[in-house]
Structure 1
């Protein structure tokens, strides 16, 4: 069975200039977990829910900090400032272009490749989807679920 037999030709995609907020809305509205980033018909990156979630990671502070008696009063203020900084940072994230977080290394398949080849690539690279490319242009997308559905038809 070929990739073209199981791929979805109606690809939800974005451009590198689209904002992270817009991409998050696209993922939610279309109930998908990732999408290709396309410029002039060519795949230039890929972005997933995982990429968006990594934006929310707060770096851990190493070492043990114990406040002095004088700092006990300052701690609630310090925590308030950190929260406000974090809140402001998260608001700014949504306006950044998706090019800032997309993965530029994109694994692709051809519509004429077998679903076994697509499955092997998905498994080896630990990814959930493969853009389907023909003559350097995006023509579809194939996910793990598409492959499993295809195997059910065999």
Structure 2
């Protein structure tokens, strides 16, 4: 799946000459944590986040009164505190690549550019929702985490064993194991009891790490 399937289209934006206080108020009103900054030609020139505004704000220990702080923030413009070197992606970027870029760069959102124009944004919250879908977190079933040998066809054999036992797989993922010889399999199954799931997979795995009904 690509980011175009899960991005927020036509995101809320802001101009570079807007006071930082207005940017803060807009984020609060829209319940968002960042605003792409667009110039008069609708080109992305930066991004401003809640963290940027926090760093630009006077310290809580300041001797300034509320009026002085408000006056200071109203004079400070978005272009002076925004991040200018924005990491962007295209709409055909795979979701897992977007997640990797966010994690590797310790950022919370990626503007999506097509033909030089901003068409959307994907954030860590969007990817959390994808994670929930991938693991069937809103569906009931037996969730099994098992350590299994790193062998060709092993995942297919596991799926076949569950199907033969009468189970339906809600979600199926795998992760790096304890070493190069094994992997963790995380499976959610419905229409089987916990005992039946264990019985079906036991001959194919090294050990069960966790099993529970959720």
TM-score, structure 1 as length reference = 0.78
Q: Which residue of 1 aligns with 2:73?
A: 93
Q: Who wins on radius of gyration, i.e. which is larger?
A: 2
Question: Would you say the 8 A contact 1:46–1:106 is kept in 2?
Answer: yes
Deviation at 1:139, TM superposition (A): 0.2
SS of equivalent residue, structure 2 residue 112: strand
Deviation at 1:88, TM superposition (A): 2.5
Q: Structure 1 residues 86 and 25, CA, compared in 2 at 3 Å: closer, same or farther?
A: closer
2:14, 2:64 → 1: CA distance?
A: 31
Number of residues of Structure 1 aligned to a counterpart in Structure 2: 133
Q: Which runs of 5+ in 2 are unaligned?
A: 135-214
Q: Which residue of 2 aligns with 1:110?
A: 90
- Which structure carries more helix by proportion? 1
Higher relative contact order (CA 8 A, sep 6+): 1
Question: Would you say the 8 A contact 2:58–2:69 is kept in 1?
Answer: no
Question: Would you say the 8 A contact 1:56–1:90 is kept in 2?
Answer: no
Q: Which runs of 5+ in 1 are unaligned?
A: 61-81
* Runs of 4+ residues over 3 Å off in structure 1: 84-87, 151-154
- Which structure carries more strand by proportion? 2
Q: Which residue of 2 aligns with 1:38?
A: 38
TM-score, structure 2 as length reference = 0.57
SS of equivalent residue, structure 2 residue 86: coil
Question: Would you say the 8 A contact 1:45–1:105 is kept in 2?
Answer: yes
1:56, 1:15 → 2: CA distance?
A: 19
The CA RMSD over aligned residues, in Å, is: 2.1
Q: Structure 1 residues 143 and 84, CA, compared in 2 at 3 Å: closer, same or farther?
A: closer
